[in-house]
Structure 1
Amino acid sequence: MHGQYRRLTEQPPVDMKETYGWLKAANLPAATEGLVVAAQDQALRTRYYERKILHRDVSPTCRMCSVGLETVDHIVAGCSALAPTDYTDRHNQVASIIHWDVCRHFGVPVESRWYRHHPDRLVETDDITMMWDTTIPTARKIKANRPDICLRNRKTNTCLLIDISCPADGNIGKKHAEKLAKYSDLRVEISRMWHCRTLVVPVVLGALGTVHADSRDGLSTSEAGFASGTCNRLYKPD
């Protein structure tokens, strides 16, 4: 099983350099770094590992949901019992980094550290309106109308629809394409209603650390002016 993650990161659409950037910049304790690498190598002692690798007489079924096989990938991105809690918390933390950076860029008072930041549902200044996890009212019915962050910049006459996903690492390409398709109708409708240029910016990070090549590019090429700090914290956290 060793080497599967490495081979995955060598294939498109993975940005290999950014995927491994945390090893140089995250400054994690050695034990934490070792645990992450062990998870990437599928070397954690899950029930599936005990059954298939150690040949012990145990059920390989997940002890949390009692449905799927208890593999590393299942634990970090596929367990229905963890989806409403741990997966949601992880998703919200990634979104909070972006929200915090936008606030800092536009002079909105925030905590000094991103992990202490609690996003407000609505943030407004003279230049921007930013909505957090809010349904956007539209003239015609749009099924997907609640992106994680909607940032309208009146000064540049642009709107960013930022949506975050942390899927299983092998699914980052599929999830990125899904996000673009999901919000395509909303992008067209907002452009029509607000008479502005609207962009969909999917931020897709694999549960074990893979980075979609277009996630960083999407932030970097956006017109919000906050991408540099956001990218550094997303892919090379403090």
Structure 2
Amino acid sequence: MASQCDRKLSHDYMRRHNEALRCIHLQLCLNYRLTKSKKIRNHSLQECVSNDLAEIRIDTRIPTGIKVKYNKPDIFILVKLRKEILFVEVGITSFDHLRAVEYKKKDKYDLLVNH
């Protein structure tokens, strides 16, 4: 019974993660004028959307010149005018574990950020 609960809990966390990702993706698409629709129920995650302002990728490996363990952020944003790259990592956790998850997510991409 406990193992079934763990599987269900894992599924629930993944579902909430994907829903949060979809909400963030919609807001980013609106911010960078990649969509005009504000309705979340009609919004779907596309692997890559792009225009002259930005390129947004979902769960896509980032090609690097160095070997890195973590190079697949939840959301990768290339802001074309500023030549800036942003990573978004979504973490669904309890309040008690919030700081630990936050540090883990930040540390994941330190090598890429500092390279």
Q: TM-score, normalised by structure 2?
A: 0.88
Distance 2:29 2:2 in 1: 38
Q: Name which one, 1 or 2, has greater alpha-carbon Rg.
A: 1
2:64 corresponds to: 138
Distance 1:142 1:126 in 2: 29
Aligned residues: 115
Displacement over 6 Å in runs of 4+: none
Identify which of structures 1 and 2 has the higher relative contact order when contacts are C-alpha pairs closer than 8 Å and 6+ apart. Answer: 1
Q: TM-score, normalised by structure 1?
A: 0.45
Q: List alignment gaps of at least 5 residues for structure 1.
A: 1-62, 67-74, 190-238
Distance 1:109 1:134 in 2: 20
Q: List alignment gaps of at least 5 residues for structure 2.
A: none
- Give the letter for the 1:153 counterpart: V
2:92 corresponds to: 166
Q: Percent identity?
A: 24
Secondary structure of the corresponding residue to residue 114 of structure 2: helix
Contact 1:120 1:132 in 2 (8 A): yes
Secondary structure of the corresponding residue to residue 65 of structure 1: helix
Within-5 A mapping of 1:99-138 = 99-109=25-35, 111-138=37-64
Distance 1:163 1:154 in 2: 20
Within-5 A mapping of 1:1-238 = 63=1, 65=3, 79-83=6-10, 85-109=11-35, 111-189=37-115
Contact 1:100 1:110 in 2 (8 A): no
Alignment RMSD? 1.8
The farther-off stretch of 104-113 and 127-136 is 104-113
